[in-house]
A = this chain, B = another copy of it.
Amino acid sequence: MSGGSARRRRLALVGLGPGDPELVTAQAARVLDEVDFFLVADKTGDHPGTADLVAMREAICERHVTGEWRLVAVPDPERDRDDPADYAGAVRDWHEARAEAWEQALLAHDGDAAVLVWGDPALYDSAIRLADRIEARGVVDVAVEVVPGLSSVQLLAARHRIVLNTIGGPITITTGRRLLRDAEHGDNLVVMLDGGLTCLRLPDPSAWQVWWGANLGSADEQLVAGRLDEVAGEIEARRAAAKQARGWVMDTYLLRRV
């Protein structure tokens, strides 16, 4: 135990990639080896997929970390999901409570730390903002560094053997929450964080081609591609089956106007 900050400690935000241990970079493997402990959010209870995520993380550590590793689980504060009117505000409050929890974990352990992040810390992930907040609070003296990782979107594209852009065209990366709005201006969209296949609510499903993937990088990866109206049923069925089998499902997809 140590409450002091005799020296500046590393706080590395390490992108592990989408889950497959082969998709970890040499840099991520080196940093995991160098630090003294790993910080992970303890979401046990409200995430049924916890056991699978733990197993995937262990497979990554087994392969890339020399010797022992130490995991420090940080209790994840409750998040108010009932107020969609102030979504950004609720997320900010939750970040502040998390920053305090992570700070406590850093104060309770000596040495350098790595925060293990699925995918890429630069894409719909809170670790960078969390680290900014910890640094701004000034309670622990940390040198923050970011180790990029492959995102599930890149694995989706590789598995379907597609280029995310049309020739010279733009790509909109968005969330399920924003899809219906962003589809008005975009004709080539990557959708992440969609808890319920929002694409099925698009006005004209026959106008879109879809490349869908679930649990990418895990053992029970699912892939479906085709015209949205023609493959919607198969996607729904596969998504439901994956969720039934493991208690959770994470999916992402590319939509392109035909």
Contacts and interface: CB of A to CB of B under 8 A. Distances in A.
Contacts of A171: 172-174
Contact residue range for chain A? 35 or more
A147 B108 CA distance: 41
Contact of A167 (B91, B123, B162, B182): B91
Given A91-B167, A146-B157, A170-B172, A128 B22 contact: no
A136 interface: no
A17 interface: yes
A177 B168 contact: yes
Contact of A26 (B21, B122, B168): B21
Given A131-B161, A146-B157, A146-B161, 19 more contacts: A20-B27, A21-B26, A25-B150, A26-B29, A88-B167, A120-B154, A121-B157, A122-B163, A124-B165, A125-B163, A128-B161, A146-B158, A148-B150, A150-B150, A170-B173, A170-B178, A171-B173, A172-B172, A172-B186
